Amino acid sequence: MDFIITQNGVLNHTEENIWQANTDHTIYEVIRVMDGIALFLEDHFERLISSVKISGLQLDMGFSEFRQNISELTQLNNQQNGNVKFAFSGIGAETQWSFSFIPHSYPASEDYQKGVATGLLFAERENPNAKILQIKVRERAVRLIAENKLYEALLVDRSGRITEGSRSNVFFVKGNKFYTAPSAMVLVGVTRKKVMECLEELNFPVIEEAVSVSDVGTFDAVFLTGTSPKVLPVHCIDTIQFPSKNPFVEQLMDRYDLMIEAYLEMHRT
């Protein structure tokens, strides 16, 4: 993972003049590459363009160039699996962008079987529909996760409602009904979007409603969705425990894996 692609061409990670995209002005997308194929790339690009428009910026790059840059990056780094980050920043008339492989940590098989631990973080994103680095919220989440040995921090708004994870979306399950915060309240993840499609195929009702912290204990199951975790069961939120096995969640996990395989098969050359 030594090379990145920027608007100025190919650079090596060790070069001192690499632009570091880590400010609150940075829009980004993280795309999972499996077998050399960028997963659900069309959806990622669509969300990227939406984030750019919400931010009042302009990205002079079409989908074909976007896809080609990721393909070139995988070849340059001889990397067929991993997470690619596209970062785009604009201040005034000056814009910069880069594609790079970033460190990733995929859940172990045990995490899918036993579920993961999460905790509550009272924090809100500004402009949640745009995928923009919000460093202060991220730093608080990282600290909470590290101090409590958690997998994820769940954000709670000023009304006491759980909106999303710091790097994921969250769903609650009661019977065969799935609850998740409305699109307007969260960063609509690509995995969330695909999971919603799977739930529709399975004929499971989806209620777009943020769950109050006081009601968390009334649900049968909880799970996270995201680029790295896919569909990942939660076994606790702070001290509230949940079963790691739920028949409706397991059906969803199987359906989502089939969707991934179908996409990969369609894009294999």
* Tens of pLDDT, residues 105-114: 899 999 999 9
CA 19 to chain centre: 23
Domain check: are 88 and 119 in the same one? no
- Whether the pLDDT of residue 18 is over 50: the answer is no
Q: Where does the chain show beta strands of DSSP type E?
A: 3-6, 9-12, 26-34, 37-38, 82-91, 94-102, 116-122, 152-156, 161-165, 169-174, 177-180, 206-208, 211-212, 221-226, 230-237, 240-241
- Whether the pLDDT of residue 91 is over 80: the answer is no
Q: Across the chain, what does the average pLDDT equal? A: 90
55 pLDDT band, cuts 50/70/90, is: confident
Query: Which of 182, 175, 169, 181 lies closest to 256, judged by CA?
Result: 169
pLDDT, greater one: 9 or 168:
168
Could you tell me if residue 269 is inside a domain? Answer: no
Per-residue pLDDT tens digits for 113-166: 999 999 999 988 766 555 555 668 888 999 999 999 999 999 999 999 999 999
Domain check: are 218 and 153 in the same one? yes
Domain check: are 156 and 40 in the same one? no
Per-residue pLDDT tens digits for 226-244: 999 999 999 999 999 999 8
Could you tell me if residue 196 is inside a domain? Answer: yes
Could you tell me if residue 206 is inside a domain? Answer: yes
Domain check: are 173 and 211 in the same one? yes
CA dist 136 and 149 (Å) reads 20
Domain check: are 92 and 70 in the same one? yes
- Whether the pLDDT of residue 25 is over 70: the answer is no
C-alpha Rg value of the chain to the nearest Å: 19
Q: Which of 55, 74, 102 finishes a domain?
A: 102
Q: Which of 81, 102, 123 finishes a domain?
A: 102
Residue 253's domain spans which residues? 109-263
Could you tell me if residue 230 is inside a domain? Answer: yes
Domain check: are 224 and 127 in the same one? yes
CA dist 59 and 245 (Å) reads 44
CA dist 139 and 216 (Å) reads 25
Domain check: are 133 and 204 in the same one? yes
Domain check: are 48 and 136 in the same one? no
| Strand order across the 3-6 sheet | 9-12, 3-6, 94-102, 82-91, 26-34, 37-38
The CATH number of whichever domain residue 133 belongs to comes to: 3.20.10.10
Domain check: are 13 and 144 in the same one? no
Q: Which amino acid is at 247?
A: P
Q: What's phi and psi for 113, nearest 5 deg?
A: -80, -40
Q: How many domains does the chain have?
A: 2
Query: Which of 210, 205, 214 lies closest to 174, judged by CA?
Result: 205
Q: Which of 59, 87, 102 finishes a domain?
A: 102
Q: In what helix (H) or strand (E) does residue 251 lie, and over which residues does it extend?
A: helix 247-267
Domain check: are 97 and 25 in the same one? yes
pLDDT for residue 17: 46
Q: Are 132 and 47 in contact (CB under 8 A)?
A: no
pLDDT, greater one: 28 or 162:
162
Could you tell me if residue 268 is inside a domain? Answer: no
Domain check: are 80 and 130 in the same one? no
pTM of the model: 0.90
The CATH number of whichever domain residue 84 belongs to comes to: 3.30.470.10
Domain check: are 96 and 115 in the same one? no
